[in-house]
Amino acid sequence: MSTKFGRLVPLVFSKRGFSTSTSVQKGGGGSEEGLKSLNLCSAINQALHIALDSDPRSYVFGEDVSFGGVFRCTTGLADQFGKKRVFNTPLCEQGIVGFGIGLAAMGNRAIAEIQFADYIFPAFDQIVNEAAKFRYRSGNQFNCGGLTVRAPYGAVGHGGHYHSQSPEAFFCHVPGIKVVIPRSPRQAKGLLLSCIRDPNPVVFFEPKWLYRLAVEEVPEDDYMLPLSEAEVIRQGSDVTLVGWGAQLAIMEQACLDAEKEGISCELIDLKTLIPWDKETVESSVNKTGRLLVSHEAPITGGFGAEISASIVERCFSRLEAPVARICGLDTPFPLVFEPFYMPTKNKILDAIKSTVKY
């Protein structure tokens, strides 16, 4: 196993890294002191430690979380905070979310884990019909704002149909919940803490490809990054690129290659998909006149469509080319064809050139 991983890591690094580039870090632990090099799962773990430590009414539960979780995100939590606050549940996603709603409805912070985003669908009814509508339907007498559902998300190289999915678009059509996806360890820690403390139910997707591959300096103290705020992580003037999660790293590489061909790309990390930051994207497109959106999820019905339609509506007179969407294909996620399925750097670069040349 170690040999295989030893072979895998450099190969993976040569193909895709991760996006840590930043403009000014808002609230991301300003001090250069107190930094520690962490990967994504350790950053998540740190966020969970802080959440449990800072709020005695917070709980972490799900399948296999007690021993540390299958991705090790919950390592050490049960030992430190006790098995009444960090515990395994029976293997049942609708039960996990339903239980979490009840726990949150009583004023607790319920941090539920769904082992893979691919298995969140058994809980879809609880998330869509219950969690999202709990406050509204009661006239604000009750709410389950303390609920956060976190799940590993996105492609991983060999996950096939049920360990690779990016289901964010299913949830973006649901008023009442927030959908948040980080791109790096530093972002993940700050965003997850904001999700846990937000007074609304949140679905937090963790790009599992980056769990061990994304490493950067992360402030060790408690800090929160704002939700519903996109971030321009690369300034440019010819075309605006919008993405989230692990896909940003691919897009960033495409930007670098485009720059060698004289094209100046602006790259935006959306971070929160709903409610999303239209203003930041609009401002950027008004400057560049062009937009390209990219996500691993299938193109039809993907969240890129919402971004595209909204920007066309708002920036119609400014657009100099059709909005480009470079996404996963409209097939189930395949195993051996993953390299062809993914919206890879070459596909993005090709689209950047077509858009600018239009």
Partner 1 sequence: MRKFTTIFSHIKSTKMNFSVSLLHRSSPFCPNQPPHPNFKNLTWQNRDSLLLFPLLCSRHFASTTAQNPSTLNALQDHYQAIDFPGGAVQFIPEMRFISESPKERIPCYRVLDDNGQPILGHNFVQVSKEVAVKMYTDMVTLRSMDTIFYEAQRQGRISFYVTAIGEEAINVASAAALAMDDVVFPQYREAGVLLWRGFTLQEFANQLFSNIYDYGKGRQMPAHYGSKKHNYFTVASTIATQISHAVGAAYSLKMDKKDACAVTYFGDGGSSEGDFHAALNFAAVLEAPVIFICRNNGWAISTPISDQFRSDGVVVKGQAYGVRSIRVDGNDALAIYSAIQAARQMAITEERPILIEALTYRVGHHTTSDDSTKYRPANEIEWWRVARDPVVRFRKWIEKHGWWNDMAESELINNLRQQLLHTIQEAEGVEKPPLADSFSDVYDVAPSNLREQEQWLKEIVRKQPQEYPTNISV
One of 148, 165, 184, 228 touching partner 1 (CB under 8 A): 228
Report the distance separating Cα 300 and Cα 313, nearest Å: 19
Out of 23, 37, 54, 129, the only residue in the binding site for partner 1 (CB under 8 A) is 129
| Of residues 172 and 352, the one with the C-beta less far from partner 1 | 172
Q: Does 142 bind partner 1 (CB under 8 A)?
A: yes
Is 240 in contact with 266 (CB distance < 8 Å)?
A: yes
Rg of the chain over Cα atoms, rounded to whole angstroms, equals 20
Region of 124-132, 186-194, 280-288, 341-349 interacting with partner 1 (CB under 8 A): 124-132
Q: How far is the CB of 228 from partner 1 (least distance, A)?
A: 6
Q: How far is the CB of 51 from partner 1 (least distance, A)?
A: 16
Shortest Cβ distance from residue 88 to partner 1 (Å)?
Answer: 6
Identify how many contiguous H helices and E strands the chain contains and give both numbers.
14, 14
Residues contacting residue 205 through CB under 8 Å, at least 6 positions apart: 117, 150, 151, 152, 153, 154, 166, 168, 179, 180, 181, 245
Taking CB under 8 A as the rule, does residue 199 contact partner 1?
yes
End-to-end alpha carbon distance in the chain = 48
Burial tier of 274 (Cβ tally within 10 Å: 0-12, 13-18, 19+): buried
- Residue 358, burial from CB neighbour count under 10 angstroms (0-12, 13-18, 19+): exposed
Told to check if 98 binds partner 1 by CB under 8 A, we report: yes
Binding residues for partner 1, total number by CB under 8 A: 66
**Interface pick for partner 1 out of 81, 99, 153, 205 (rule CB under 8 A):** 99
Give the footprint of partner 1 on this chain (CB under 8 A). Answer: 1, 63-64, 66-67, 70-72, 84, 87-92, 94-95, 98-108, 110, 115-116, 119, 122, 125-126, 129-130, 133, 135-143, 145, 156-159, 162-163, 175-176, 178, 199-200, 208, 211-212, 228, 275, 278-279
